Structure 1
Amino acid sequence: MISITEWQKIGVGTTGFGVFFILFGILLYFDSVLLAFGNLLFLTGLLFIIGLRKTFSFFFQRHKLKGTSFFLGGVVIVLLRWPLLGMVLETYGFLSLFKGFFPVIFGFLGNASNIPFLSALFQRLQGTRSMV
């Protein structure tokens, strides 16, 4: 069994609140204060979950610098109260940073769900062509 430290539990809660505030800020027509608060909570939670050194090494790898610059630039733009432009930049940076995780996520969801249509859809998104 995986042991989770208290700091990681706090990080999961903080990241969850960050995602909640980001989604709530989007629902309220890109409220810049909620989006900025959500961004700060999300990044703080990420620091608590994986640590300062691993977070720094994840964001500043050579092949991820473009995604990092768009993501962190979007955070700064949101903090400067340009929420729509900032969220567009953040979305592009987020997709660029985490594009390697999407096949793994779709593969897990395809194997975890027993619903035939969703399983086939997630397997196609994963990149495999077998329907087994």
Structure 2
Amino acid sequence: MRLTTLVILIGTLVASAAAFAHSGVANPAVLQRMEAMKQIGDQMKVLGSMAKGQVAFDAGAAQAAVDAIAAQAAQVPDLFREPVTDPKSEALPSIWESYGDFTLKAEALQVAANAQISAERDLAPTVAALGAACKACHSHYKD
């Protein structure tokens, strides 16, 4: 359960930081990327609050959250295709220097989000897999 707690904490911190980072973004492409990441973070909060027992497990809400993450993850390669920047962006230049690896990491997030959550026992491994996929990308490509 420790890994799940760590993953939830990371997801919450990322989502909180994203909310502050969006103010003052001038480049519309960067803002669109940031909004997509925020939406993923928001869905991780839904899953995390269930995993921590802060809210009751709801299979429908959990499945909707992973489905939304999968949909956003599918958009990530296109959102980052062009190396546009903004002073508020946390995207590192290494995204475009290693774009193939970056897209593989986005695909790994999408695969992790293709999980089926029909019972509470499905939640922890799904949250752990999603958190690991997020961390794998952020550790290389996010400032």
When normalised by structure 2's length, the TM-score is 0.44
Judging by fraction of residues, say which structure has more helix: 1
Structure showing greater relative contact order (alpha-carbon pairs closer than 8 Å, 6 or more residues apart): 2
When normalised by structure 1's length, the TM-score is 0.46
